Amino acid sequence: MKYAQIEWNNGTPHSAEYDDVYFSDNSGIDESQHVFLHQNQLPQRWQQKTRFVIAETGFGIGLNFIVTMMTWLRTVTPPACLHFISIEKHPVSPRDVARMAARLPELEPYYDDLLKVYPPPLPGRHLLEFAGGRVKLYLIFDEVEHALEQFEYKVDAWYLDGFAPSRNSAMWNDRVFELIARNTTVGGSFATYTAAGAVRRGLTQAGFVVKKSEGFGRKRAMLSGFIFEQRCYIVDQPWYRLPECSCREQQAVIIGAGLAGLTTAWALVRRGWDIILLDSHADIAAGASGNPAGLLMPRLASNESLDSRFYLNAYVYAIHCLDHLQSATEDQFWFKTGNLSVAHADRLRRMCASHQFTEDFIRYVDSDTTKHIAGVDLNAGALLLVDAGWVNVRLLCESLRLACADALTYRQTTVVDIRFNHGVWHVIDETDETVLTTACLVMANAAQVSQCPALNWLPIESARGQLTLAPRTEASRCLRCAISGKRYITPAYAGQHVVGASYRRDDDATSLSVSEQQANIDAINQMVPALLDEHSELAGRVAFRAVSKDRVPIVGCVPDRAAFEQDYRDLHHGKPARSYPNGRYLPDLYLSTAHGSRGLSSCFMSAELIAALVCGEPTPVEKAVVDYLNPARFIIRQLKRTPGARL
């Protein structure tokens, strides 16, 4: 995405493209309070609420958000949480945001916090947290209509803040008004600075009771309104309509103490939940997440796709989480060295162009520059992921456990089945006994999820991988950043590089293999000739990735397979979606698995998604991505093909 072109006229930001100001040149703060807070009856309406959802069309320079956050923090006590969703098609550059901050000294500390986490201009949803999680900003970089189509939750108050309707019709049309109304809770409101007749009529027709009141500054009038009854709307793809979590106690059981399980535990603990974490091993991180190193890398397609959207948003979010966790411990596990990803130069250039990455986020660098960055001669251009790096995965898991503190209880248990009886999940161990019951259960035990009879339909398998620990050499001493191509290598730490990794399906051998070690070393020496010594001593680690049939992580609520097959059995006839009932899902059962070779990128965001579903919050990824990850996709695809086809 490209940054907005802003002109500063006497210190007031002005859009060249829309020929309009971002806010009043008199006093933006007073305007924001008068129009958006007061006319939505805030802060009164959010008192006594533990959660309040505001959505805004037009994030701009974030003034409304900052003023609202400041008011929330002054008027509401923890643990209440403000969810502020804001849509923006033309992200403002951090430089312009900083320029704004400098003009408003009373807001500067809040703007500083915003700038610390301000995302790169990537399409999709960016989840940013403030004041220890008391305020969550979901910054959606997208066209307004598309972004609103991706909403799946009810908003308490809307701030409608596009440029003037006469210059910015995309923000003020009947389709947009309808989407706003359908995503508003009964008793919810809107406010806007404009009093344009078409806006008043459009919002009235969409279902709001609209009132005109005194405008701000030179504007004589403005509009606000409430919705008092919910209309019925047709649901697209009803099979992906997710149920609300019905748990009353803030307690959950998570099976699997790897990255998927521990990130989910942390996401729920931060919301005040208590977690029991079960694993078949005596300690955490015994599976793939026990690796001494892994690269933090998004999976990138040549063009914009749902897959890249998920991985890029998840990658940016993972960087925030890693920074945060690292700041709490002295044991270094997060090495922000930057990554160079080697592939065909034309492909990498095309990728950068089609994603419109900014130079300070991801860029193509030529052969001379890679040498300068890496400290060794790759003799090739590469993609530079500026904020990427490598992670000691085992230590990361340890830091997640520490971050959960007393809210996490660990128990060694091998789970062989789960059964829903008398309103709760029974967790069954090898003796066929119920070891625990719980209302809320998260399965995060990698490929073994499908060993549970209730989940044996999930198309998931293990892929063996071997890492090599290679001693530092004279040549490799200079390596400064992580490099990836067919294999990857980290800079030396404690005298050793980690080289990864082989990839073998249908191989469950757990011992180190000489040939895989050789293949690892050879692949690195092909990228950088004679970087590593040939060495016969076997040193490394074998582990297993969980990989789904479509190679996409499996995250979300678990469908009731029998009910799906009954409700949607004639889906292959291509009947319109509206004639089907909503999807039936197993009560309060969630999955986070199949993170494949990119768990460092995908696990944090997946955990946040599960926590949002469990707690009834806005999701950190857009609906299309929630559906993309939904375990039910395999059943739906099968039913759309032919009855009886394999999943």
Ligand X SMILES: C[S@@+](CC[C@H](N)C(=O)[O-])C[C@H]1O[C@@H](n2cnc3c(N)ncnc32)[C@H](O)[C@@H]1O
> Does 294 contact ligand FAD by CB under 6 A?
yes
* Residue keyed to tokens 């993972």: 318
**For residue 74, with 0-12 CB atoms within 10 Å meaning exposed, 13-18 middle and 19 or more buried, which class applies?**
exposed
- Which residue from 163, 23, 153 is spatially nearest to 88, judged by alpha carbons? 163
AA identity, residue 447 = A
> Does 448 contact ligand FAD by CB under 6 A?
yes
- In this structure, are residues 73 and 134 in contact, taking their beta carbons and an 8 Å threshold? yes
Helix, strand, or coil here: 602?
Answer: helix
Binding mask 63-102 for ligand X (x = CB under 6 A): xx----------------------xxxx------------
> Does 144 contact ligand FAD by CB under 6 A?
no
- Tokens at residue 282, please? 């005596």
By CB under 6 A, name the one of 1, 117, 127, 144 that touches ligand X: 144
**Contacts of ligand FAD in 586-625 (CB under 6 A):** 593, 595-601
What's the rounded Cα separation, in Å, for the pair 345 and 351? 10
> Does 470 contact ligand FAD by CB under 6 A?
no
C-alpha atoms less than 13 angstroms from C-alpha of 192 in its C-beta half-sphere: 30
What's the rounded Cα separation, in Å, for the pair 144 and 192? 16
Binding mask 100-139 for ligand X (x = CB under 6 A): ----------------------------------------
Sign (positive/negative) of CA torsion 90, 93, 97, 102? negative
> Does 188 contact ligand FAD by CB under 6 A?
no
What is the smallest separation between the CB atom of 131 and ligand FAD, expressed in angstroms? 30
- Whichever of 288 and 365 has its CB closer to ligand FAD, that residue is 288
> Does 500 contact ligand FAD by CB under 6 A?
yes
With CB under 5 to 8 Å by kind, the binding choice for 4 among ligand FAD, ligand X, none is ligand X
C-alpha atoms less than 13 angstroms from C-alpha of 473 in its C-beta half-sphere: 16
> Does 325 contact ligand FAD by CB under 6 A?
no
> Does 467 contact ligand FAD by CB under 6 A?
yes
**Contacts of ligand X in 576-595 (CB under 6 A):** none
Angle between helices 306-327 and 599-615 (to 10 degrees): 90
**For residue 220, with 0-12 CB atoms within 10 Å meaning exposed, 13-18 middle and 19 or more buried, which class applies?**
exposed
Taking CB under 6 A as the binding criterion, the range among 156-164, 241-249, 303-311, 597-605 that sits at the site for ligand X is 156-164
With CB under 5 to 8 Å by kind, the binding choice for 556 among ligand FAD, ligand X, none is none
What's the rounded Cα separation, in Å, for the pair 184 and 153? 8
- Whichever of 92 and 442 has its CB closer to ligand FAD, that residue is 442
Q: What are phi and psi of 637, to 5 degrees?
A: -60, -40
**Contacts of ligand FAD in 388-417 (CB under 6 A):** 393, 414-415
By CB under 6 A, name the one of 97, 135, 148, 171 that touches ligand X: 171
- In this structure, are residues 69 and 106 in contact, taking their beta carbons and an 8 Å threshold? no
Helix, strand, or coil here: 15?
Answer: strand
> Does 225 contact ligand X by CB under 6 A?
no
- Whichever of 58 and 261 has its CB closer to ligand FAD, that residue is 261
Helix, strand, or coil here: 188?
Answer: strand
Residues at the interface with ligand FAD (CB under 6 A): 255-261, 278-281, 286-289, 291, 294-295, 393, 414-415, 444-446, 448, 465, 467, 500-501, 543-546, 593, 595-601
Residues at the interface with ligand X (CB under 6 A): 4, 22-23, 56, 58-64, 87-90, 143-144, 161-163, 168, 170-171
